């Protein structure tokens, strides 16, 4: 199934390239997210770091390479002949060193903890990339809805201008009313140009994240249903499993193991060596003297520990403490963010309900009623334009809050990301 899923997305990507380069691509939020997860180099970099740490873990804790020794021994300096003295020989030996008991195992466990750190950072990179894509897509979406709302208001102002001109021709109003309505309409044109500029910036940001040209992309007209979110209490309980926290947990574990490795350095290293000596000399009877073999044990002697072992142990101890404090601070920060974001989420929901169900419908009814009253001369142009501006503000605020609900949901879902979650894009 994963292979079929991959092939399907490769076909989509092929469709989005040069053959359709001149067509406008309408991106859903889900499609934008998938493109970013497949194309963004930051995710590939993070995956490469995971592979680096895995390769490093394979080599950690292995025995050091043996040492090969070759030389000559007891050769007379007057002739450098190997057959004059019975003690002259050509030597070939090998030495294998061994770390203190348990040190290699600790080193391998530390490297494995670093792999867990890289994996947690990869998951956090995935979650951050999704969050950034959501923010960029929603930014473009809001700008386009703002443009659509302004165009609808522009059409309403066209009606107001036409009514004002008709009233002016019939002598029921002054020319100033026509000019006021036209000025309001022209002001919308300027606002529309400013929004176009802002939209271009948002499109560039989205295009950078998904690896496409912003010249031929737009977003769907429908806003997806905002995902369900956890409560602030649920989020606080989940935060210890957030990738940022688990990455630090793995780093703390690696630091503990590194400290244990540093303490093992107080113990001596041992090594074994064996040597073979070839002798070319002959004895008094003319027979070749026998070759020789040697074997032995070597051992390091850690006598001066103040500037070596002590310093390394103190360094690892300080690093371990630093990471623990960093984790505590990050957990407090995420905790505060979760509380604040959830409070903002509930505030936006209540404010949106008030605007959608009460304020915006009332404002639209007021505009219609005042425009009808203006046709009959029962109100003035200033009241019509003022109510129109209030209605426009409410309409824009509704779209802003609808988008903000999604933004708040995306932020809460990022805070609710855990390392237990898996992704189809993770290798």
Which of helix, strand or coil describes residue 62? coil
Cβ(315)–Cβ(259) below 8 Å: no
- What does the pLDDT look like over 101-141, one tens digit per residue? 888 999 999 999 999 999 999 999 999 999 999 999 999 99
pLDDT of residue 413: 92
Q: Is the pLDDT of residue 350 over 60?
A: yes
Name the residue with higher pLDDT: 183 or 149.
149
Confidence of residue 339 (pLDDT cuts 50, 70, 90): very high
So where are the chain's domains?
A: 31-64+99-267+302-415
Q: Mean pLDDT across the stretch 298-327?
A: 89
pLDDT, tens digit, 9 for 90 and up, residues 224-276: 888 888 998 999 999 999 999 999 999 999 999 999 999 998 899 999 999 99
Tokens 């002016």 label which residue?
A: 168
Q: How does the average pLDDT of the chain come out, rounded? A: 84
- For 400, residues 6+ apart whose C-beta sits below 8 A from its C-beta are 142
**Class in CATH terms, 31-64+99-267+302-415:** mainly alpha
Per-residue pLDDT tens digits for 274-297: 999 999 888 777 788 899 999 999
Judge residue 120's burial from the number of C-beta atoms within 10 Å of its C-beta, 0-12 exposed, 13-18 middle, 19 or more buried. Answer: buried
Q: What is the pLDDT of residue 171?
A: 65
Predicted local confidence at residue 15, as pLDDT: 45
Percent share of the chain, pLDDT over 70: 87
Q: How far apart are CA 17 and CA 277, in angstroms?
A: 71
Partners of 71 in the β-ladder: 91
Tokens of 252: 């703390």
């Amino acid at each position: 199934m994963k292979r079929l899923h991959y092939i399907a997305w490769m076909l989509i990507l092929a469709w989005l390239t040069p053959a359709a380069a001149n067509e406008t691509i309408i991106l859903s939020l889900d499609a934008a997210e998938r493109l970013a997860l497949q194309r963004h180099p930051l995710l590939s970099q993070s995956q490469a770091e995971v592979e680096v740490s895995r390769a490093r873990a394979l080599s950690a804790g292995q025995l050091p390479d043996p040492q090969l020794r070759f030389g000559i021994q007891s050769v007379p300096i007057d002739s450098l002949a190997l057959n004059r003295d019975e003690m002259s020989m050509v030597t070939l030996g090998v030495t294998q060193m061994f770390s203190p008991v348990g040190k290699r195992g600790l080193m391998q466990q530390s490297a494995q903890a670093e792999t867990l750190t890289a994996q947690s950072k990869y998951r956090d990179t995935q979650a951050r990339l999704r969050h950034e894509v959501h923010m960029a897509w929603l930014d473009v979406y809001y700008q386009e809805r703002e443009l659509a709302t302004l165009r609808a208001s522009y059409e309403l102002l066209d009606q107001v201008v036409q009514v004002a001109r008709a009233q002016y021709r019939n002598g029921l109003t002054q020319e100033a009313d026509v000019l006021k309505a036209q000025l309001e309409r022209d002001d919308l044109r300027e606002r529309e140009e400013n929004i176009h500029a802002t939209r271009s910036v948002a499109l560039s940001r989205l295009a950078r994240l998904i690896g496409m040209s912003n010249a031929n992309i737009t977003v769907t007209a429908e806003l997806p249903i905002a995902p369900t979110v956890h409560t602030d209490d649920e989020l606080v309980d989940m935060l210890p499993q957030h990738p940022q926290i688990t990455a630090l947990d793995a780093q703390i574990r690696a630091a503990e193991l590194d400290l244990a490795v540093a303490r093992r350095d107080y113990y001596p290293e041992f090594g074994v060596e064996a040597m073979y000596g070839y002798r070319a000399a002959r004895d008094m009877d003319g027979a070749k003297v026998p070759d020789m073999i040697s074997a032995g044990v070597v051992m390091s002697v850690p006598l001066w520990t103040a500037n070596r072992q002590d310093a390394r142990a103190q360094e690892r101890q300080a690093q371990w403490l630093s990471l623990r404090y960093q984790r505590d601070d990050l957990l407090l920060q995420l905790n505060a963010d979760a509380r604040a974001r959830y409070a903002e989420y509930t505030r936006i929901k209540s404010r949106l309900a008030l605007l959608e169900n009460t304020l915006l419908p009332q404002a639209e009814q007021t505009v219609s009623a005042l425009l009808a009253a203006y046709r009959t001369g029962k109100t003035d142009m200033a009241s019509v334009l003022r109510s129109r501006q209030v209605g426009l503000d409410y309409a824009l605020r509704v779209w802003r809050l609808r988008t903000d609900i999604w933004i708040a949901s995306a932020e809460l879902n990022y805070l609710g990301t855990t390392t237990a979650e898996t992704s189809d894009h993770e290798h």
